[in-house]
């Protein structure tokens, strides 16, 4: 059975049992009003459904199932083992106040073991864990009884505590016990006591393949304060891991999901190594999915994760002397998923990946040159201090510097890590002091023309969104008394007509002499009011929002420290002087007020 068939079987199994099949949400999370979203990407199937699990009725009903794209950067260092990927698909079924433990467990078991409708896995290779209980919450004997009624013997049911079998999304959230299913990937384990099971889990001989959560309690300040009025079921099963079990393999990379990629990498590298080749395959797949979901490489937030994935995979590719075409791999990835994820974009993936690769290879070359130069000294040893300085003055990240030093076979000091950390700490303290000083004297020193450019920057941002679309996001901005510079996400060069429309719109708003008003509010209020800005944890709790135009004339609303003009009337005439690429997927405009 291929992974495509497994996905289909899962969805139709639950469709037959009254579930509406919902499409996968984007990997990129969306901020929902009134809800602070602190992850950059969807990391589980339940994540796009949080508001429904909290009680909001779902338009498709109270039984749902999906296969959700997930990205987990917390697992990045585990990639290369048998079971952890950064990108994976999570199969899941949900009950929103409808069925509960009985049906949930029964269906999980049936889907895993039924030959006709499910996966036909061997029940003799299945083990389950249930919640051991804590404080006032009893151990989950109900789940034990249901498992036993299905034929899972008592000695294959293990109790685990809240680290593994208690689910919650934070201090104030629904919570509840879970039961997890494990599969013997070796086929040789048989009966085990709990210690034997834990050891097998440690060795990855048994692998967690499914997790059923029973959301039954309300938690406040980290403790359970009562039961939920609506009890939900939330399940998650990794498609890739289940495929390992179904196809009788020992790891994810031997399944139909990865075997083609791994084979290609193997045939096209002269220094093949399993772990590095797995990193190449996994990270490249994540990158393709991220790019297709609209992420561009950059130095902040999501873009930075993408950049790191691309850089890591290129380093791994160099380590195994990969001489194939990354583009072939991208094509293979897209071909194998396009039937399910129709937004996968070959052109964009190739182009953005290639640009980023070229850029990174240049950075490596510079790093190589620099390290070669300084390592010519006799008895040279690479210290944490040297790498720290290279990072601060050339922007050469420490992992890349170490990678280059390995390529150049340089000697590394034995206390490297300690030295590096202590230099980092010193530097941070110094730059903090610098920032404070700048802040004291800083903004007050802004000249009148610079203040005008601040306001013009907001107007340009809004005009670009109106002319090009709401995908336009500020990526950077810089103001001197001579000009403003503005970097923003957009895939292609602006046409002359687009530039003209942007200019005209800004000039129209200057002419309307709109009032500029500053209001202080909380980040949540700012977000709800539709203000632009980065809703990360960078901002203090209370922020200033600058609004250009009043009532039904509001043109722009943005979180900003200021300062700004009081009204737009006397700013001059706005002209775009230059429009060029800044980095992959990011354009740069330089503009003046004449
Ligand atoms: P583990 O402890 O093995 O890392 P987990 O407890 O983090 O797994 P859950 O959060 O319960 O996993 O996610 C539900 C399911 O998603 C798991 O049963 C597994 O099948 C799958 N899964 C989780 N993390 C990954 C990953 N990094 N790569 C592939 N599949 C995963
Ligand atoms: Mg788990």
> Domain ranges in the chain?
3-254, 258-359, 375-435, 438-593
Q: Which of 131-135, 166-170, 262-266, 373-377 has the lowest mean pLDDT?
A: 166-170
Residue 537 pLDDT level (bands cut at 50, 70, 90): very low
- pLDDT reading at 439 higher than 50: no
Nearest by Cα to 576 from 460, 425, 423, 407: 460
Burial of 533 (0-12, 13-18, 19+ CB in 10 A): middle
* Ligand (nearest to CA of 78): 1
Residue 540: predicted pLDDT: 59
Residue 275: predicted pLDDT: 97
Which residue has the least CA distance to atom 1 on ligand 1? Answer: 208
Q: How far is the CA of 94 from the centre of ligand 2 (A)?
A: 17
Residue 35: predicted pLDDT: 46
**Sheet architecture: strand order including 542-548:** 516-522, 542-548, 556-559
Q: How far is the CA of 130 from the centre of ligand 2 (A)?
A: 11
Collapse the DSSP code of 505 into the 3-class scheme (helix H, G, I; strand E, B; otherwise coil) and give the result. Answer: helix
Pocket test for ligand 1, best of 236, 279, 283, 285 (most atoms within 8 A of CB): 236
Q: How far is the CA of 91 from the centre of ligand 1 (A)?
A: 11
Residue 544: predicted pLDDT: 87
Which residue has the least CA distance to atom 24 on ligand 1? Answer: 84
**C-alpha angle 76/79/83, rounded to 5°?**
120
Q: How far is the CA of 198 from the centre of ligand 2 (A)?
A: 14
- pLDDT reading at 445 higher than 70: no
Mean pLDDT confidence for 101-125: 97
Q: Which atom of ligand 1 is nearest to the CA of 90?
A: 16
Q: Which atom of ligand 1 is nearest to the CA of 242?
A: 20
Superfamily of domain 3-254: Bira Bifunctional Protein; Domain 2 (3.30.930.10)
* Residue list, ligand 1 pocket, CB within 6 Å: 72, 75, 83-85, 88, 90, 208-211, 236-238, 240-241
Residue 38: predicted pLDDT: 58
Number of H helices, E strands in the chain: 18, 16
SS (H, E, C) 30-47: CCCCCCCCCCCECCCCCH
Return the higher-pLDDT residue of 407 and 350. Answer: 350
Q: Return the DSSP state at 139.
A: P
Q: Give the position of tokens 């086929």.
A: 187
- Whole-model pTM: value is 0.72
Pocket test for ligand 1, best of 208, 234, 257, 258 (most atoms within 8 A of CB): 208
* Ligand (nearest to CA of 164): 2
- pLDDT reading at 560 higher than 70: yes
Mean pLDDT confidence for 421-426: 78
- pLDDT reading at 50 higher than 80: yes
Q: How far is the CA of 238 from the centre of ligand 1 (A)?
A: 6
Residue 579: predicted pLDDT: 93
Which residue has the least CA distance to atom 22 on ligand 1? Answer: 238
- pLDDT reading at 470 higher than 80: yes
Residue 173: predicted pLDDT: 78
Residue 430: predicted pLDDT: 62
Nearest by Cα to 55 from 277, 261, 250, 218: 218
Give residues with Cβ within 8 angstroms of 9, minimum separation 6: 1, 111, 117, 118, 119
Residue 378 pLDDT level (bands cut at 50, 70, 90): confident
Residue 343: predicted pLDDT: 96
Q: How far is the CA of 144 from the centre of ligand 1 (A)?
A: 22
Mean pLDDT confidence for 527-543: 71
Return the higher-pLDDT residue of 53 and 241. Answer: 241
**Distance between CA atoms of residues 561 and 563, nearest Å:** 7
Nearest by Cα to 262 from 277, 241, 279: 277
* Ligand (nearest to CA of 207): 1
CA dist list (Å): 381 to 122, 377, 399: 56, 9, 17
Residue 388: predicted pLDDT: 85
Which residue has the least CA distance to atom 13 on ligand 1? Answer: 236
- pLDDT reading at 539 higher than 70: no
Query: What is the CATH number assigned to the segment(s) 438-593?
Result: 3.30.980.10
Residues in the 5 Å CB sphere of ion ligand 2? 211
* Ligand (nearest to CA of 238): 1
Residue 419: predicted pLDDT: 87
Residue 514: predicted pLDDT: 95
Q: How far is the CA of 580 from the centre of ligand 1 (A)?
A: 43
Residue 429: predicted pLDDT: 62
299, two tokens = 């130095």
Return the higher-pLDDT residue of 67 and 550. Answer: 67
């Amino acid at each position: 059975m291929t992974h495509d068939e497994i996905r289909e079987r899962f969805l139709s199994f639950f469709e037959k049992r009254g579930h509406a099949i919902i499409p996968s949400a984007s990997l990129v999370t969306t901020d929902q009003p009134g809800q602070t979203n602190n992850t950059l990407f969807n990391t589980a199937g339940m994540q796009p459904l949080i508001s429904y699990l909290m009680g909001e009725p779902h338009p498709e009903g109270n039984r749902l199932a999906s296969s959700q794209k997930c990205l987990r950067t917390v697992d990045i260092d585990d990639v290369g083992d048998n079971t952890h990927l950064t990108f994976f698909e999570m199969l899941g079924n949900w009950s929103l106040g409808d069925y509960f433990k009985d049906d949930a467990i029964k269906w999980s078991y049936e889907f895993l073991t039924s030959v006709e409708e499910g996966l036909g896995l061997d029940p003799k290779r299945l083990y389950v864990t249930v919640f051991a209980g804590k404080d006032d919450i009893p151990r989950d004997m109900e789940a034990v009884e249901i498992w036993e009624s299905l034929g899972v013997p008592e000695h294959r049911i293990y109790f685990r505590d809240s680290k593994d079998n208690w689910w919650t999304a934070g201090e104030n959230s629904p919570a509840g016990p879970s039961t997890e299913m494990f599969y013997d990937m070796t086929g040789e384990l048989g009966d085990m006591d709990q210690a034997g099971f834990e050891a097998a889990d440690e060795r990855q001989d048994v692998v967690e393949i499914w997790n059923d959560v029973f959301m039954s309690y309300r938690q406040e300040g980290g403790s359970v304060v009562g039961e939920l009025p609506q009890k939900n079921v939330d399940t998650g099963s990794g498609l890739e891991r289940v495929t390992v079990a179904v196809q009788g393999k020992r790891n994810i990379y031997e399944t139909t999901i990865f075997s083609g990629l791994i084979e290609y990498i193997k045939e096209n590298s002269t220094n093949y190594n399993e772990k590095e080749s797995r990193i190449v395959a996994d990270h490249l797949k994540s990158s393709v999915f991220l790019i297709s979901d609209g992420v561009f490489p950059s130095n902040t937030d999501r873009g930075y994760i993408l950049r790191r994935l691309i850089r890591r995979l290129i380093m791994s590719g160099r380590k195994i002397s990969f001489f194939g075409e990354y583009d072939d791999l991208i094509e293979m990835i897209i071909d194998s998923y396009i039937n399910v994820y129709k937004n996968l974009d070959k052109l964009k993936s190739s182009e953005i990946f290639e640009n980023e690769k070229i850029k990174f290879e240049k950075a490596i070359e510079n790093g190589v040159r620099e390290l070669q130069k300084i390592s010519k000294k006799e008895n040279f040893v690479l210290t944490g201090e040297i790498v720290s300085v290279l990072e601060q003055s050339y922007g050469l990240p420490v992992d890349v510097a170490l990678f280059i030093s390995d390529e150049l076979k340089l000697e590394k000091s034995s206390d490297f890590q300690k030295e590096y950390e202590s230099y980092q700490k010193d530097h941070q303290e110094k730059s903090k002091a610098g920032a404070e000083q700048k802040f004291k004297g800083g903004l007050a020193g802004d000249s009148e023309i610079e203040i005008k450019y601040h306001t013009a920057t907001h107007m340009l941002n809004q005009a670009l969104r109106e002319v090009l679309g709401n995908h336009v996001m500020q990526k950077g901005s810089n103001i001197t008394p001579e000009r403003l510079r503005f970097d923003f996400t957009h895939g292609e060069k602006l046409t002359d007509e687009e530039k003209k429309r942007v200019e005209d719109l800004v000039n129209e708003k200057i002419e309307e002499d709109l009032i500029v008003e500053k209001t202080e509010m909380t980040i949540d209020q700012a977000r709800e009011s539709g203000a632009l800005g980065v809703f990360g944890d960078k901002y203090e709790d209370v922020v200033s929002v600058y609004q250009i135009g009043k009532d039904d004339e509001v043109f722009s609303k943005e979180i900003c420290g200021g300062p700004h003009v009081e009204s737009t009337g006397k700013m001059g005439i706005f002209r775009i002087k230059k429009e060029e690429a800044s980095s992959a997927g990011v354009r740069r405009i330089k503009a003046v007020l004449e």
